[in-house]
């Protein structure tokens, strides 16, 4: 684990990975178009077999954003994400980067189409892929919890709080990697 004043970076080497492109996932303080604020507090990404979670620590978002921009600009293409519209809005609106349409692929699309065909609502990531804690009814951090956790961190500067956000992002990247593979098999 690497720790600076601006961020914490945790990397994990996996037995499997993304051979063509990079899987990305942001954790933010809100949703573009729905909330006034939507600062990036976490970036998770997986390329080849390297999974990394970069967690913001600084009050000032700009130094962290510079690091996030470097990751996005230098990551192998395409970028894969679950609900790519959200990631694109963050990349363009919050980070100020503009990417060609072909650079971001939505791994939710096969599941969205299947739900539409069956007259069902679009599935959330954790509805498609569960983790062991779900079975045992354990309390878990969700994306909706991130804004509150970030505010709690800002108020008390507890590293344990941002570790919860990082763990959530890491689990989401693992879930999304399963969907990326599954979507290619559908």
| Separation between Cα atoms, residue 10 and residue 102, nearest integer Å | 29
Mean pLDDT along residues 179-186:
69
Look up residue 65 and give its two tokens. 């954003």
pLDDT tens-digit readout, 22-80: 999 999 999 988 988 999 999 999 999 999 999 999 999 999 999 999 999 999 999 99
pLDDT band at 164 (very low <50, low <70, confident <90, very high): very high
pTM of the model: 0.95
pLDDT for the residue numbered 36: 87
Task: Determine phi and psi for 45, rounding to 5 degrees.
Answer: -150, 150
For 37, the token pair is 């604020």
pLDDT reported for residue 171: 96
Q: What is the pLDDT of residue 181?
A: 83
Domains of the chain in start order, with CATH, are 2-185 (3.30.420)
The mean of the pLDDT values for the chain is 94
3-state secondary structure of 43: strand
DSSP H stretches of helix in the chain: 61-74, 84-89, 109-117, 125-128, 132-135, 146-156, 159-185
Q: Are 143 and 100 in contact (CB under 8 A)?
A: no
Rounded Cα gap, residues 51 and 64, in angstroms: 18
CA nearest to 14, candidates 45, 48, 54? 48
Per residue in 17-49, is it b (16+ CB within 10 Å) or e — as a string? ebeebbbbbbbbbeebeeeeebebbbbbbbbee
Give residue-wise pLDDT tens across range 101-121: 999 999 999 889 999 999 999
């Amino acid at each position: 684990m690497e720790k600076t004043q601006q961020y914490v970076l945790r990397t994990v080497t996996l037995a499997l990975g993304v051979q063509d492109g990079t899987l990305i996932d942001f954790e933010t303080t809100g949703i573009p178009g729905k909330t006034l604020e939507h600062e990036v507090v976490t970036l998770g990404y997986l390329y080849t077999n390297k999974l990394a979670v970069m967690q913001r620590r600084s009050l000032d978002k700009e130094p962290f954003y510079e690091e996030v921009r470097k990751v996005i600009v230098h990551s192998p293409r395409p970028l894969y994400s679950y609900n790519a519209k959200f990631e694109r809005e963050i990349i363009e609106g919050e980070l100020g980067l503009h990417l060609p349409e072909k650079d971001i692929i939505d791994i939710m699309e096969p599941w969205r189409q299947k739900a539409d065909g069956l007259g069902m609502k679009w599935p959330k990531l954790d509805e498609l892929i569960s983790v062991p804690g779900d079975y045992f009814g354990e309390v878990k951090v969700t994306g909706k919890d991130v804004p509150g956790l970030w505010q709690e961190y800002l108020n008390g500067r507890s590293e344990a709080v941002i570790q919860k956000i990082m763990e959530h992002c890491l689990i989401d990247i693992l879930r999304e990697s399963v969907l990326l593979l599954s979507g290619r098999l559908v």
